[in-house]
A and B are shown apart, each in its own frame.
Chain A
C-alpha cells in the first residue's frame, strides 16, 4: 500500500514531473496548491515551471500566484544572505571554523535544492569549546535570546545541541548556533571533530560540511531527529542532493563508509529507501547493496513503509486516522531516539505542568 499513497499524491507527482502542470484541471490545481503550501513547497512549483519554460502555458491565476511565491523565496534567500553578512561581521576573523548548515549552506554552495526554497532561520555550527565565546559575540553585536523562560533555557543548554535561538531585533531571522548535529542525549551521537575536520572553505570566510556530510546531516535530521511536519521538503532536498552530488562516482563510493564511521547507517538506509520509493531517485545498485545490512527487522521496516508515505502526503491519500497514527508514530519515534526514557518522561511532564500553569 505504501507506494500507492504517494504515487497518487498530486504534489509528489508534479515534483517528480513538473511538465504535468501544463495539463492539470482546476480541481487538481486547488489540491496541488493546498498541499504545496502545507509542505512549504509553493515556491518550488514556480521555480520548476520556470526552469522548464512552461509558465506561458499555465492559467493566468497560477502565474499571478507564482509571482507571489517567487518574491517570497527570493526574499527569503536575500534575508539569509544578509544575515550571513551580519554573522560574518560578528564572528569571522576569529581563528576557528564557522560552518554553515542546512539552508544557508545550500545557498552558499548554490545547490539545485535552493530553487524556490524558503528558509526562516540560519543555522551555524562551531566547536563545542567555542560556543560560549560565539554566544558572547552575538550578544555583543545586538542579538538577543528569543527563549526567555528558565526551564527552556536550561534545557537547551544542558541537553540539546544548540544555544537557545538568537534573534537580532532589527531582523526577523532566528539564528541557531549548534555545537553538534544531534542532541547530546541522542542514542547515536557522532564524533563532531570528524565533521569539523572535513569541513571545506566556502563564501565569505565561512565553511560548509563536505558534500557527503551535508547530505548525512539532512538525513539524520529527518530520519533520526524527526522533523515530521516538513518531512516532504526534507525528503525532496535529499533527493535533489543525491542526484546532484551523485553525478560524481566518488560521492557514492564515500557515502556508506562515511555513514558507518559516523554511526548514521540506519538513517541513511531510510533515506535511500524512501527517496527511491517515493521520489524515484536514481541510486546505484551497489549502494543499495552496501546499505541493505543496516535495515531494521522486517516488522519495523513494514511499519515504516506504512507510516512514511502517510506523512509525505499532507492532506490526501492517507485517511484521517492512518495519517494521525503515522504523524504521531513518527513523532514519538523521534523523541524516543532523542533522549533516554526517563529524561523523556521528565521533559514531557515538566512541559505539561508548565502548560497547565499557563507559563508556556
Chain B
C-alpha cells in the first residue's frame, strides 16, 4: 500500500510498460520520487527501457500536477537522433550538459536529475550521504564519493532497512524529519559485482533489479539498481534522524567502531551538506539539533557484510532501548 503523497492529493495512475513507453516518447510521464515530481520525456528507446525497468513500480500521475522539474532527453538533430545517437539533456536551467552517447542509457537521465536536485533544491537541507531508516531509527551516513556510502545504504536496504537515498539525504527544516528520496541507486566500478552478489543472497531473479553496465562514463563503469519495493512504497514515510555514522571503507582494515566527538560529527555533517551555506542560520540550527539528538560514531570496514553488522550493532547498543 503506497503512502499518501505530500503534495498531490489526486489518484495515481497504473500504467502498463507499453503505456509508459508511449508516454515517455511523447508528452512525458509525471514521476514522483519522494517530495519531487519530475516530468520525464525520453526520445531514445534504450533509455526508455532502462527507465521502465528501474522506475515501473514508482508513482505516476495521469492528470497534470505541478512539477518540481522536467527532464527532456533527445537528439538535437536527425544525425544525433538516428545515425550517431547522442543524448542531449534539457533540464530547463540554462545549463548545458556535455551530451553523452545515447548508448549509455540512463546515465544522462540520472545526471540530469542529480544536477537539478544538487543545484536547485534549497527547501530541504541536503546531505551528501547515504540515509536509511527502520522502526523509528533514522541513520545519516555522510561521506565523500568513493567512500562506499552508496553501497552501504543500498546494502542495508536489501536487509530490511528503508532506503531514503544512497546519495541525497534530505531534511525538512520545519519538522527536522528525514524526507525519503529513493532514486535509482548509482553503483560504480567494483561495487557493482558486490551489490549483485548481495542482492542474489536474499532475492530471486536478482538481475531484474539492475540495468546494463555502462562502461566509459565520466565516472567509470556505472550500473543502476532499483531500490526495494518496500522503500519505494514508503517514499512518503518520514523519520526523525537519531544516528550519524561516518563510514570509512578500507579493504585492508579490521571492522571497527570508533568514537568521535559531537563537535567533529557536527563539522563533518556540515561539510557534507551541499546547501548549508545557502540556507544559512536555519541549517546551522537543524544540524545542531540533529547532532545533539543523535548517537555519533565512525566505522571502518573492509567488506559490505562487516559494515552492515557494525551498523546493526551500533543501533542495538545505543538506540533500541530508548525507543521502547
Asked whether, in the complex, the Cβ of A72 is within 8 Å of the Cβ of B278, the reply is yes
Q: Which residues of B are found within 8 Å of A62, using beta-carbon distances?
A: 66
Q: Does A26 contact B (CB under 8 A)?
A: yes
Contact with B along A148-160 (1 / 0, CB 8 A): 0000000000000
Q: Are B8 and A75 in touch, CB under 8 angstroms?
A: no
- Complex Cα distance, B92 from A75, in Å, reads 22
Q: B64 to A71, Cβ gap below 8 A? A: no
* Stretch of A2-10, A27-35, A218-226, A341-349 with 4 or more beta carbons under 8 angstroms from chain B: A27-35
| A68 surroundings in chain B (CB, below 8 A) | 120-123
Q: Count chain A CB atoms within 10 A of each CB in B66, B122, B277, B278 and give the residue with the most.
A: B66
Name the one of B35, B65, B122 contacting A72, with C-beta atoms under 8 angstroms.
B122
A250 to B275, CA, bound (A): 45
Closest Cβ–Cβ distance, residue B2 to chain A (whole Å): 18
A75 touches B7 (CB 8 A): no
A72 to B277, CA, bound (A): 10
B92 touches A34 (CB 8 A): yes
The distance from the CB of B45 to the nearest CB of chain A, in whole angstroms, is 25
B contacts with A: majority SS: loop
Q: Does B18 contact A (CB under 8 A)?
A: no
Partner of B64, one of A30, A60, A65: A30
Find residues 18-52 in chain B having any chain A CB closer than 8 Å to their own CB. Answer: 35, 37, 39
CA A40 – CA B92 in complex, angstroms?
Answer: 11
Q: Which residue of B lies closest to A30 (CB)?
A: B67
Q: Are B8 and A71 in contact (CB under 8 A)?
A: no
Of the four ranges (under 10, 10 to 19, 20 to 34, 35 or more), the interface on chain B belongs to 20 to 34
Q: Which residues of A contact B122 (CB under 8 A)?
A: 67-69, 71-72, 75
Q: How many residues of A contact B (CB 8 A)?
A: 24
The residues of A that contact B120 with a CB separation of less than 8 Å are 68, 72
B66 and A75 within 8 A (CB): no
> Which residue among A27, A37, A67, A68 has the maximum number of chain B CB atoms within 10 Å of its CB?
A68
Chain B residues closer than 8 Å to A210, beta-carbon distance: none
Q: Any chain A CB within 8 A of the CB of B207? A: no
Do the beta carbons of A75 and B123 come within 8 Å of each other?
no
Across the interface, which residues of B come within 8 angstroms of A67, CB to CB?
Answer: 122-123
Cα of A143 to Cα of B20 in the assembled complex, Å? 52
Residue of B nearest to A35 (CB): B92
Q: Taking the complex as formed, is B216 at the interface, i.e. its CB lies under 8 A from any CB of chain A?
A: no
The reply to whether B66 and A59 contact each other, CB–CB distance below 8 Å, is yes
Which B residue sits closest to A38, measured CB to CB? B94
Do B93 and A37 touch across chains, with their CB atoms under 8 A apart?
yes
Q: Is residue B68 contacting chain A, with contact meaning CB distance below 8 A? A: yes
Complex A-B: 25 CB contacts under 8 Å: A26-B64, A26-B65, A26-B66, A29-B66, A30-B39, A30-B66, A33-B66, A34-B92, A37-B94, A59-B66, A64-B7, A65-B66, A65-B123, A68-B120, A68-B121, A68-B122, A71-B123, A71-B275, A71-B278, A71-B279, A72-B120, A74-B280, A75-B122, A75-B279, A78-B280
Binding site for B on A (CB under 8 A): 26-27, 29-30, 33-34, 37-38, 40, 59-62, 64-65, 67-69, 71-72, 74-75, 78, 229
Give the A-binding residues of B (Cβ under 8 A). Answer: 6-8, 35, 37, 39, 64-68, 70, 92-94, 120-123, 275, 277-280, 282
